[in-house]
Amino acid sequence: MTEATTPQSRAWSRKDVEASLRSILVRSLAVQEAEVVPSAALVRDLGAESIDFLDIGFNVQQTLGVNLQTTDIRTRMMAWASLIQPTLVEIIQEQQGVTVTADELRALDHAGLGTIAEYLHTTKGLPVHPGTADELGGALVQRLVKDFAALGFRVNQVDQEDLLALMRADLSARRLTERTLDFLTVGALADFICTKMGPRVCD
pLDDT digits (tens, 9 = 90+) for 146-164: 888 887 788 889 999 999 9
Q: What three-state secondary structure class fits 12?
A: strand
The pLDDT assigned to 32 comes to: 97
Most confident of 8-22, 38-52, 83-97, 118-132: 38-52
Whether the CB-CB separation of 167 and 137 falls below 8 Å is answered with yes
**What is the band of 16 on the pLDDT scale with cuts at 50, 70, 90?**
very high
Percent of the chain, pLDDT > 90?
Answer: 43
Q: At the top level of CATH, which class does the domain 12-73+185-202 belong to?
A: mainly alpha
Tell me the H-state helices in the chain: 14-29, 50-64, 70-82, 84-96, 102-106, 113-124, 132-149, 157-169, 173-181, 186-197
CA distance 117 to 120: 5
Task: Please indicate whether residue 6 or residue 48 has the higher confidence score (pLDDT).
Answer: 48
Residues of the chain with CATH 1.10.1200.10: 12-73+185-202
Q: Is residue 13 helix, strand or coil? A: strand
This prediction's pTM: 0.79
